[in-house]
Amino acid sequence: MGHELAWELPVILYLFLAGLGAGTVTVSASVLLRGGGGGFGGRHFAIARYGALIGPLPVLVGTFFIVFELGRPFRALNLFKLVNLSPMSIGSWLLGLFIVVSLLYALLFLPWPTSISERLQPWRKALSWVCVPLGIGVAVYTGVLLGAMAARPFWNSPILALLFLVSALSTGIATIILAQTLLYKPPPDDPRAKKLFHESGYLLTASDVMLIGFELLVIFLFIMYAYLTVGNARYAIAVILPGGDLAAPFWLWVVLVGLLVPALVELFYVVPKLLYRRDYAAPRVVELAVPIAVLVGGFMLRYVVVVAGQVTGPVGL
């Protein structure tokens, strides 16, 4: 491509990990607020726990990458000295608040004694109401951070923030499915535990299918918005269209590997349960491979977007 990139892997990892962590915590809090109704049974607390304990970690790691990318780590503290309406200022305060709240939320899910855990339940639900909008805010902010740069026509789209939000929620669900598959195995002599395990897996997978479908729609809107816009945006979007420099990684890794294949595999196991009330029981290899593919696609989405914005700009205003 012949362009020097100012933003490389640390920034890409930050956008991916921040969105992943925000999505995971948002899904966890949403499941906890939903409670045991709708088929989650006794597994809703376990699902919420996976998301609560895992969610803050990628955000902390991603923040580490972006802070040290600045060259002078303590310079990042200057972002907290002023409060204004700039994306960097709002995003910094939002990210800092999310880290504090998500860590407190995770603390409430540690393996406390039963008597203490029961007393913590009202606090878990109270923090869940805070985690949902905060998690959505952080996921949206990662797109707004790029979209606010008018001189970069590939990024300067009102749809980019929505795309990053949907992708964050999808990768959040994928993370919880992967954690549940790796960390929990229902006792073979307890059919009820096995049924609840598969039931929770079905609801998570069905939710992921819907999010993937919505993400494909948002990608279509993102491309059409730029393509139908006269000027620089139409020129910029050509980089991911057939023949463009980034067409191969976008259509292969983001669309095919990260979205279409997982959606088709998940539908294969979801549709019989949805239409014919058959038992849902996806093989372990599927519950490992599909979320990994979704996570790969989520990372490659950020990679393509960050690189595409740099190889197609800046332009004159």
Nearest CA to 266 out of 194, 212, 191, 193 is that of: 212
Residue 229 in this model has a pLDDT that exceeds 90: no
List of domains in the chain? 9-311 (1.20.1630.10)
Nearest CA to 170 out of 291, 64, 58, 275 is that of: 291
Residue 240 in this model has a pLDDT that exceeds 70: yes
Least confident of 5-19, 177-191, 295-309: 177-191
The whole-chain average pLDDT of the chain stands at 87
Distance CA 156, CA 24 (A): 27
Nearest CA to 292 out of 179, 197, 206, 201 is that of: 179
Distance CA 177, CA 204 (A): 7
pLDDT, average across residues 39-65: 86
H-type alpha helices, 184-281: 191-227, 232-237, 247-249, 261-276
The answer to whether 253 touches 209, Cβ cutoff 8 Å, is: no
* Sequence-distant (≥ 6) Cβ neighbours of residue 77 within 8 angstroms: none
Query: What number of other Cβ atoms are within 10 A of residue 42's Cβ?
Result: 12
Read off the amino acid at residue 87: P
Identify the pLDDT of residue 242: 93
pTM above 0.85, yes or no: yes
Q: What is the pLDDT of residues 63-87, one digit of tens each?
A: 988 887 766 555 555 555 555 666 6
pLDDT, average across residues 152-170: 94
Identify the pLDDT of residue 80: 52
Identify the pLDDT of residue 34: 80
pLDDT, average across residues 87-108: 89
* Residue whose entry in the numeric block shows the structure tokens 């002599």: 189
